[in-house]
A and B are shown apart, each in its own frame.
Chain A
Amino acid sequence: MMDISHENILAQRCQEGQLEYFAELYDTYIERIYAFLLSRTRNKALAQDITSHTFMKAIEKIKTFDASRGTFSAWLYRIARNTLIDYFRTHKDTVDIDDVWGISDDTDTIKNAHARLQIETIRAYLQKLDPDQRDVVLMRVWDELSYKEIAHIMNKSEGSCKMMFSRTVEKMQKDLGVSMALLISLISQSHYF
């Protein structure tokens, strides 16, 4: 992970017109942004398109980045997320965002019954969550973003993101507790815990 102060210096130089410094920011974030988008679209071509638009927009809008309001990372993820949402909005006639957002569809290829059950249970549950709750959980767990970054990306307060995450996890624990306990019991019998 690039040091935040170094990242801010690079962004500042870009803002001053030395845009060639953007190359280092690109090299740092291309894989993370692509992974963020691919994991939410499950479509390489679409993820590549939106990744391209994200970085192009970042160059165009680099002067709007304000380091006092958040990290460059959060700013870039915010562009990626909003670009993705815009895509789904403009294709709402053909694509249901709730069918795609954060939900991958490879469970049919997972042959082990326990694994399939776990993943299917989690994914089915995620799909039923409120989109904001789902976003917070996936950005924290899948993308390992801090609450501060998530707050900036979602335009919410850090405290509300923390609270939303905790409540969602608590809810998941209550709703899925029985099946999780069963799984733990099964796995314990396999001597892995």
Chain B
Amino acid sequence: MNKKELIHTILEDVYAADSSLRAHEKTLIKLIENLLESKPKVEIDEQFRTRLRQELMHRIAELKEKPSSPSLSAWFLSLGALRYAVGVAVLVLVVTLGSAYWLPGAQDTWHVSIRDTGEERAFGNLGDEQSQPLPSAGGIQNFEVAEPTDDILAPSISSMPAMGLGGGGGESMPIRYPQTRYEYIYKGEPLSLESETVDVLKRIPGFTSDGSLQKAINGLGFGLINLRTFTQRSIESLSFTEEKEYGYNVMLSFREGSVSIYQNWQQWPTEDTVGIGGCDPTSVMGGCMVKPSGLNIQDVPSEDAIISVANSFLAQHDIPTDSYGNARLLSEWREMYEQQKAMGMAPYVPEIADVVYPLLINGEEVYDEGGRPSGMVINVDMRNMKVTSLWGLMTQRYESSAYPAETDWDRIVSIARQGGTQQIFYAYENMYPTQRVVYITLGTPSVQYMKTWLPTQKSSQEIIVPSVIFPIVDAPSDYDQGRKAIIVPLAKELLDRVDVFAPPIPLDIPVQE
């Protein structure tokens, strides 16, 4: 629903309750508009979105592993199947881990390797010329989704990540009438962009498990089923749990080629939290709360101490780090802390710190679209000084293909001025009598790698693209703290995609009577 329709619907409901209010329609429209404009700007952190998704998938895997009923467990025990099951599970684990890591040659998957396809544009169109947003009565609120045209690389607007919409991401998100216009200013020298092509990398996900794993699975029927009867099987994932204090859940995704580690909640102390046990199962809430606690600022350990915990964890578990740069602590919360403190609010200090090990490609760090380092992340519980989770540890096999490069520096700067590939939806110049302009100063740019995703019909595929990265060197205090740089990819087709998301002119028509 666009803004005009929303206001109309809201007012019709109000008039249904009291028709005399129609006499004040102008005032009411302005009132609703102001309410809409007072909604804060929202832009979701892609790392957070991905991490939470992985955590949820892991939790789902855990829940699916639980026995469906006590009677089934009892039946297992009565057959003496448990001992057999444990034995086979251990066998599978050993074989699986061996095939993924310890078998000769398997470690190569963790090191960055790039195979040149020898073809140009081997991954298809990086943009999507067929999926153009059609203007609606109120602006760009409703996207028309075009039919995918060719191969799996054809994305649709509605399935795109939340690029350019500042948290809109998808047709259902309300887009506000923004009063703020952000301008990213770069006044330095141009970069020399002479190459006509750039090499785009596509990650090849997945492990290749060997035949011994399939053979081991044949024996996992527990007398309930003959698993040999299922053919053309692929192993999706494998997980196990450490049943000890501060134990972990470990999940290997064969499809993704990734390893994730999360705390085994059953085995971690629940100090200052309310567990799910004892809650009212008939209630949505029912006290089933694991409440976020927060630390006091004086309890936050030093950066070195936190990174040391993360490094020790990697060493303890023989996790290879030579594809990653030095650990970096992300402390964006500190900026918000200071803001809240200055405003007289009770500032929030998270309990969990994020330590990121940026992925290195050809010796260069890889960034996400928000300008944050992208790679393996370790979360450290600052209260207990223990690692709670690890994610982003993936196989690093890539294919490479040449794509036409943008050499027009003015176009690069023009897109940077709008906010790069992650544009915050903003007002146009003189669009609004009350708008403010926020100027954000960009520093000397460099060419680095940016990781992004190309949506496919059922999932998405990860690509890495050489990009111009403009660091944000000066911004007002209310600017999104998660954003450290403006990134403009050098592959022309991706820039075309950015152009698609630029709001049309005129953006919207103010509500009139």
A binds B: yes
Q: Are A166 and B18 in contact (CB under 8 A)?
A: yes
Q: Quick check: B31 and A173 within 8 Å, CB to CB?
A: yes
- Closest beta carbon of chain B to A149's beta carbon, Å: 13
**Within 8 Å of chain A (Cβ to Cβ): is B14?**
yes
Chain A minimum-CB-distance residue to B350: A45
List A contacts of B49 (CB < 8 A): 30-31
Contact among A56, A121, A166 with B290 in the assembled complex (CB-CB below 8 Å)? A56
Against B, the Cβ 8 Å flags (1 = close, 0 = not) of A117-144 are: 0110111001000000000011011111
Residue of B nearest to A189 (CB): B433
Q: Which of A20, A27, A121, A169 contacts B28 (CB 8 A)?
A: A169
Residue of B nearest to A142 (CB): B39
Residues of A with C-beta under 8 A to B476: 109
Task: Report chain A residues within 8 Å CB of B37.
Answer: 118-119
- Set A75, A78, A170: member contacting B18, Cβ < 8 A: A170
Contacts A31-B169, A177-B27 given; indicate if A112 touches B35 (C-beta within 8 A): no
Q: Are B436 and A32 in contact (CB under 8 A)?
A: no
Do A49 and B292 form a contact, CB below 8 Å, given A114-B434, A173-B24?
yes
The answer for the CA separation of A187 and B433 in the assembled complex, in Å, is: 7
Would B56 and A141 count as touching, CB distance under 8 A?
Answer: no
The CA of A46 and the CA of B347, in the complex, are separated in Å by: 10
**Interchain nearest-CB distance for B456 vs A (Å):** 13
Instruction: Return chain B residues, CB-CB under 8 Å to A104.
Output: 38-40
Chain A residues with CB under 8 A of B21: 169-170, 173
B172 CB contacts on chain A under 8 angstroms: 1-2, 28, 32
- The reply to whether B27 and A173 form a contact with Cβ atoms under 8 Å apart is yes
Query: Is the CB–CB distance between A100 and B345 below 8 Å?
Result: yes
Asked whether, in the complex, the Cβ of B281 is within 8 Å of the Cβ of A64, the reply is yes
Task: From B39, B168, B281, B283, name the one whose CB has the most chain A CB atoms within 10 angstroms.
Answer: B39
From B1, B18, B42, B340, A34 is in contact (CB under 8 Å) with B42
Residue of B nearest to A105 (CB): B343
- Is the C-beta of A8 less than 8 angstroms from some C-beta in chain B? no
Chain B residues contacting A109 (CB-CB under 8 Å) are: 436, 476-478
Residue ranges of B at the interface with A (Cβ–Cβ < 8 Å)? 1, 6, 10, 13-14, 16-18, 21, 24, 26-28, 30-32, 34-40, 42, 44-45, 48-49, 52-53, 55-57, 59-60, 63-64, 68, 162, 167-174, 179, 276, 281-285, 288-292, 294, 332-333, 336, 340, 343, 345-346, 348, 350, 432-436, 476-478, 481-482, 510, 512-513
Interface residues of A (CB under 8 A from B): 1-2, 17, 19-20, 22-23, 26-28, 30-32, 34-35, 38-39, 42-46, 48-53, 55-57, 59-61, 64, 75, 78-79, 82-83, 86-87, 90-91, 94-95, 99-100, 104-106, 109-112, 114-115, 118-119, 121-123, 126, 137-138, 140-144, 147, 162-163, 165-167, 169-170, 172-173, 176-177, 180-181, 183-184, 187, 190, 192-193
Knowing that A48-B52, A87-B292 touch, tell me 8 more A-B residue pairs with CB under 8 angstroms: A30-B52, A35-B167, A38-B40, A56-B55, A56-B56, A79-B285, A163-B17, A172-B31
